[in-house]
Amino acid sequence: MSDHNSQHLHTDKHSATRCRWCVNNSDYIHYHDHEWGRPVKDDYQLFEKICLEGFQSGLSWLTILRKRENFRLAFANFNFNIVAKFDEGNVTDLLNNQAIIRHRGKIEATINNASRAIEMVDEFGSMAAYIWGWEPDSDEPHIEKGEYDFPIPSITKTSQLLSKDLKDRGWKFFGPTTAYAFMQAMGLVNDHMHGCDSRKVIEGIRKEFRPPIASI
């Protein structure tokens, strides 16, 4: 392991080695160990991740993580077939719901994006088939570093192109930084540091994982 990587890792008293960004909070540790970077192909889970990354814009991810169950209750477990039918009355109820982030633009974007998700399923057979079609080469160059002083990007060429394509399709609140955070979260890329125990686990999962293929 290089000294460069070891600066960004933490080994605890049980000899578990993790990315340093997660180690100061138990919610982050659980998310890091059991979810972040693991490949997802369930459409409702993918829609949830897209929506929550949008809600996170301008906020801490920990804020969203701690409210995630509330978001699931408020948005029908992110079943986009249901959310697409939300009307102004639902928007008003959501704006009065203190358990979530009460931001009209983000709420309306979620409802809009539910309709766009249905269109995507109609075109590609599933959201997953569309999303996994954007899996980048492992050596894709990073454009900007992320929030932490780590060799982890906040934007890549693929995230820029994915964001643009979704915007062209009518999706909202999905800029290139949000797109890359989504790609990290749902396993399109594995950004666990080299030397992190979870990186090895995910590499093993990915060897067995078969991305869905578009039915077009």
In a domain, 149, yes or no: yes
In a domain, 30, yes or no: no
Q: Which two tokens stand for residue 6?
A: 């070891």
Distance between terminal CA atoms of the chain? 44
In a domain, 216, yes or no: no
In a domain, 54, yes or no: yes
Smallest CA-to-CA distance from 117 within 106, 128, 101 is with 128
Residue listed under structure tokens 């980048």: 136
In a domain, 3, yes or no: no
Q: What is the CATH number of the domain that holds 153?
A: 1.10.340.30
What is the per-residue pLDDT for 213? 87
String of DSSP letters for 2-66: -HHHHTTEEE-TT--EEEGGGTT-HHHHHHHHHTTT-----HHHHHHHHHHHHHHTTS-HHHHHH
What is the per-residue pLDDT for 149? 44
Instruction: Tell me how far apart the alpha carbons of residues 155 and 134 are, in angstroms, rounded to a whole number.
Output: 14
Instruction: Tell me how far apart the alpha carbons of residues 90 and 100 are, in angstroms, rounded to a whole number.
Output: 14
In a domain, 65, yes or no: yes
In a domain, 137, yes or no: yes
Determine the residue type at 139. D
String of DSSP letters for 138-176: TTPPEEEE-SSSSS-EEEEHHHHHHHHHHHHTT--S--H
**Distances, alpha carbon 192 to alpha carbons 22, 42, 164, 176, in Å:** 11, 22, 26, 20
Low-confidence residues of the chain: pLDDT under 70: 1-6, 138-153, 216
Smallest CA-to-CA distance from 58 within 153, 192, 173 is with 173
Q: Per the structure, how many domains does the chain have?
A: 1
pLDDT digits (tens, 9 = 90+) for 7-58: 889 999 999 999 999 999 999 999 999 999 999 999 999 999 999 999 999 8
In a domain, 26, yes or no: no
Phi–psi pair at 21, nearest 5 degrees: -60, -20
What is the per-residue pLDDT for 7? 84
What is the per-residue pLDDT for 3? 46
Domain of 111 in residue numbering reads as 40-208
Phi–psi pair at 153, nearest 5 degrees: -80, 165
**DSSP-assigned letter for residue 189:** S
What is the per-residue pLDDT for 154? 85
Query: Which are the catalytic amino acids?
Result: 31, 53, 61
What is the per-residue pLDDT for 216? 61
